[in-house]
Amino acid sequence: MVDYIIVGFGIAGVSVTEELERRGKTYLVYEDSSQKASRVAAGVCNPVVLKRFTMAWRGGELMDGAISFYKGIEERLSQSFVDELPVLRRFNSVEEENLWYEAADRPVLREFLSENILKNKNEGIGAPFYLGKVHKTHKVALSQLLSSYMAYMKAKNSLIEEPFVHDDIEILDNGVVYKGVKARHLIFSEGYGMVQNPYFNQLPLVGNKGEYVIIKSETLRLKEAIKAAFFIVPLGNDLYKIGATYDHQDKSKETTEAARDKILKKMKEVLRCEYTIVSQESGIRPTVRDRRPLVGTHDTYKVLHLLNGLGTRGVLMGPFLAKQLLNSIEKGETLEAEYNINRFA
Ligand SMILES: Cc1cc2nc3c(=O)[nH]c(=O)nc-3n(C[C@H](O)[C@H](O)[C@H](O)COP(=O)(O)OP(=O)(O)OC[C@H]3O[C@@H](n4cnc5c(N)ncnc54)[C@H](O)[C@@H]3O)c2cc1C
């Protein structure tokens, strides 16, 4: 008997699990490595939309809570996963520089956008115009965090590494039984894997494939992330992640030559250094038609719940939404209409 069964251990799954730990609840997690979005994500926690210089959904409001949430996980696991990582926006024109100044003057963005723009000093980067600096952004080493958390759960027999089979759930009035284990509640956090879930797959999860190219360059020596046509995110040891692409048609798991060519072509005028391509990665973002998360409880089966739809900025939104979902389950609090799945009823 456990309080919760959780299906899927990406950003959504770890957000729920850690929140349950903090509330002293017992749980059992199922994870089968079928989806990779959280594993391949660069883990940038940034509240600003750098295409248009606007605030992302709830961006400013969620930043501090998200960072302190991951720091709490660092404490629990006695390991370091979170680093401050400033982001530099490479401007393409004087107009963009002027737009930045205007945006940096807006009260919601003032805290995050530098009021002065900077001249590029890195010879490995081509930047004919100036750079704008975003403050307070962080990078969470997601793959390491998830692996360490899985080892922690394994040690206390709270993790089962196999596919969860939806047909084998027995639903009771006061819980579920799955393979002989009874739980009061079951939370699905399967990312794009939700399309196989008969209880929730009528929700409009679209899916959007993203790919990164990983390069090695000893001369680039970047300390900040750069946002040009794509992001360049330093990983340490002279390695950099470059991407990511967006493709809402291809749902295959393999990396593609087309994405690699697109990234390298666009970055030709940005990268002015020698580099070698080390690898390529891909994952499917669990995006939703209306671009809002999917959080809530099944219409008929009140013991089945969902945390999904973290298409982008999952690092920022996951901890907040997990808290809201558990408050609704445990305390009967009403979920906000904007992300409650009942908006699609
Ligand atoms: C290339 C790329 C770059 C990105 N960069 C960033 C970034 O820098 N910052 C940011 O905030 N966001 C980023 N994102 C978005 C981010 O990855 C998502 O918001 C987030 O990973 C979604 O997390 P999730 O837990 O909902 O889904 P997932 O990460 O897909 O996790 C779902 C998990 O459920 C498991 N699962 C599914 N079905 C089953 C089953 N039946 N049984 C057992 N286990 C199951 C899967 O194996 C998987 O581990 C990026 C996404 C991509 C693709």
pLDDT tens-digit map of 199-247: 999 999 999 999 999 999 999 999 999 999 999 999 999 999 999 999 9
Same domain, 158 and 248: no
Q: Do 228 and 263 sit in the same domain of this protein?
A: yes
SS3 assignment, position 231? strand
Pairing mode, if any, of strands 159-160 and 27-30?
parallel
Query: Which of ligand 1's atoms lies nearest the C-alpha of 233?
Result: 8
Name the 3-class secondary structure at 40: helix
Residue 306 DSSP SS3? strand
Q: Residue type for 2, please?
A: V
pLDDT band at 175 (very low <50, low <70, confident <90, very high): very high
Out of 285, 311, 332, pick the residue that ends a domain: 285
Q: Is residue 293 part of a domain?
A: yes
- Structural domain count, the chain: 2
- In this structure, is residue 258 part of a structural domain? yes
335 pLDDT tier (thresholds 50, 70, 90): very high
CATH number of the domain encompassing residue 303 = 3.50.50.60
DSSP three-state, residue 41: coil
Residue to mutate, 147, 190, 253, ligand 1, most ligand atoms under 8 Å from C-beta? 190
Give the DSSP H or E segment for 109: helix 107-110
Whether residues 122 and 160 share a domain: the answer is: no
Q: Which of 34, 199, 235 most suits a substitution to test ligand 1, by most atoms within 8 Å of the C-beta?
A: 34
Per residue in 101-160, pLDDT (tens digit) is: 999 999 999 999 999 999 999 999 999 999 999 999 999 999 999 999 999 999 999 999
Residue nearest to atom 46 of ligand 1 (CA): 35
CA 165, 167, 172, 174 torsion-angle sign? positive
Whether residue 33 is found in the same domain as residue 154: yes
Looking at the domain assignment, is residue 73 inside a domain?
A: no
Residue showing tokens 């300390």: 223
Angle between helix axes 314-331 and 11-22 (nearest 10 degrees) is 50
Residues in Cβ contact with 78 at an 8 Å cutoff, skipping those fewer than 6 apart: none
Pocket of ligand 1 (CB under 6 A): 7-13, 30-35, 37-38, 40-44, 163-164, 189-193, 210, 212, 243-244, 283, 285-286, 308, 310, 312-316
Within this chain, do residues 221 and 339 fall inside the same structural domain, yes or no?
Answer: no
Domain end among 266, 285, 304: 285
Query: 271: which residues sit within 8 A by CB, 6+ positions away?
Result: 124, 125, 126, 215, 217, 220, 232
Q: How far is CA 60 from the centre of its chain?
A: 16
Domain range for residue 264? 86-136+208-285
- pLDDT of 292 above 90: yes
Residue 266 binned pLDDT confidence (cut-offs 50, 70, 90): very high
Assess contact for 194 and 288: CB atoms under 8 A. Answer: no
Question: Do 212 and 92 fall within a single domain?
Answer: yes
- Domain end among 251, 285, 319: 285
Residue 329 and residue 70: Cα distance in Å, rounded? 23
